[in-house]
Chain A
Amino acid sequence: MTEAVLFYLFSLVAIVAGLSVVLARNPIASALSLVVCFFFLAADYVLLDAHFVAVIQILVYAGAIMVLFIFVIMLLNLRDDAPTPLLEISRRGLVGMAVAGVLGTGLIAALEALPVTAAAKIPEGYGKVESVGISIFSGAYLLPFEVVSVLLTVALVGAVVLAKREI
């Protein structure tokens, strides 16, 4: 019961923060709302027994990626968007909101049609570092894991090459 209440509370905050990311005029306000959203999603992960993923969510997403975003926003020193009031509906805004609304209701309708099955019993230590690590390093995910490390190196070199004035 407590879990359900907490889940709905955290999810509500996450959704409100997510909406605020899209609706905020100032990019910094957007970025900070996204940090809030990530934190509450991490809380949801804890409720779903994904402890390691929750910690990595805060470390990597809220810690590293969002710092990068905020750093770039401040580096560019952007002025606010052209001062259009939020409620002045442009054609693009209307189309975008309609597509998002149709997509959201469609997804929820499709999910509601899923057959309801009982949740499986989770084993001891589920979602902790040990079980996730064993799953990565002793199963079919070892090669993808190594490929991801190569991908990160490529992205790192690519970002430096792109952003550097002279190589």
Chain B
Amino acid sequence: MESVGLFPVLAVSAVLFATGVGGVLTRKNALIVFMSVELMLNAVNLSFVAFSRHSGLVDGQVFALFVMAVAAAEAAVGLALVILLFRNRVTVSLDDLDLMKG
């Protein structure tokens, strides 16, 4: 990857991260918000791997693996919450969840 360099990879990562932030802020379907969070986690992973390749150490890749494990845990608990929510309120729209008047 010497032909590409570090910056283009980090730019791709930044664009993906911003896309994920946009999804979290604009969508109201809880599932799509979750998927946007996954997109942001993947953008960060790409940065980790790019820096790892740049520095020649595998530590960044180890961190990427940790991020994946935490993402798996987050997805399991989050989707359980969504199922519980749907069972109680018959909706997954975040706009309808105003019980706490937030």
Query: How far is B13's CA from A14's CA once the two chains are assembled, in angstroms?
Result: 10
Query: Assuming the A-B contacts A7-B1, A27-B31, A127-B58, are A103 and B68 also in contact, with contact meaning beta carbons closer than 8 angstroms in the complex?
Result: no
Query: Assuming the A-B contacts A73-B31, A97-B26, A104-B15, are A135 and B62 also in contact, with contact meaning beta carbons closer than 8 angstroms in the complex?
Result: yes
**Are A49 and B53 in contact (CB-based, < 8 A)?**
yes
Query: How far is B49's CA from A132's CA once the two chains are assembled, in angstroms?
Result: 12
Question: Given known contacts A44-B9, A50-B61, what 7 new A-B pairs fall within 8 Å (CB)?
Answer: A41-B42, A48-B49, A69-B34, A75-B83, A78-B92, A96-B26, A141-B62
**Are B28 and A135 in contact (CB-based, < 8 A)?**
no
Q: Could you write out 22 A-B pairs with CB less than 8 Å apart? A: A1-B3, A21-B35, A22-B20, A27-B32, A34-B38, A37-B42, A47-B4, A48-B52, A57-B45, A61-B38, A76-B83, A95-B25, A96-B25, A103-B17, A119-B2, A122-B53, A141-B62, A144-B66, A145-B66, A148-B66, A154-B73, A160-B80
Cβ contacts under 8 Å, A132 to chain B: 58, 61-62, 65
Q: What class of interface size applies to chain B in its complex with A?
A: 35 or more
Query: Assuming the A-B contacts A81-B28, A148-B69, are A22 and B22 also in contact, with contact meaning beta carbons closer than 8 angstroms in the complex?
Result: yes
Query: Assuming the A-B contacts A27-B32, A155-B77, are A19 and B19 also in contact, with contact meaning beta carbons closer than 8 angstroms in the complex?
Result: yes
**Are B7 and A114 in contact (CB-based, < 8 A)?**
yes
Cβ contacts under 8 Å, B32 to chain A: 21-22, 24, 27, 30
Residue of A nearest to B90 (CB): A76
Taking a contact as CB atoms closer than 8 A, the residue among A4, A14, A21, A31 that contacts B3 in the complex is: A4
Query: Assuming the A-B contacts A99-B22, A119-B53, are A34 and B11 also in contact, with contact meaning beta carbons closer than 8 angstroms in the complex?
Result: no
Taking a contact as CB atoms closer than 8 A, the residue among B54, B56, B80 that contacts A163 in the complex is: B80
User: A7 CB to closest chain B CB, in angstroms?
Assistant: 5
Cβ contacts under 8 Å, A27 to chain B: 29, 31-32
Say yes or no: is B97 at the interface (Cβ < 8 Å to chain A). no
Residue of A nearest to B16 (CB): A18
**Are A158 and B11 in contact (CB-based, < 8 A)?**
no
**Are B50 and A123 in contact (CB-based, < 8 A)?**
no
Taking a contact as CB atoms closer than 8 A, the residue among B4, B17, B36, B93 that contacts A7 in the complex is: B4
Taking a contact as CB atoms closer than 8 A, the residue among B19, B77, B79 that contacts A18 in the complex is: B19
Residue of A nearest to B93 (CB): A81
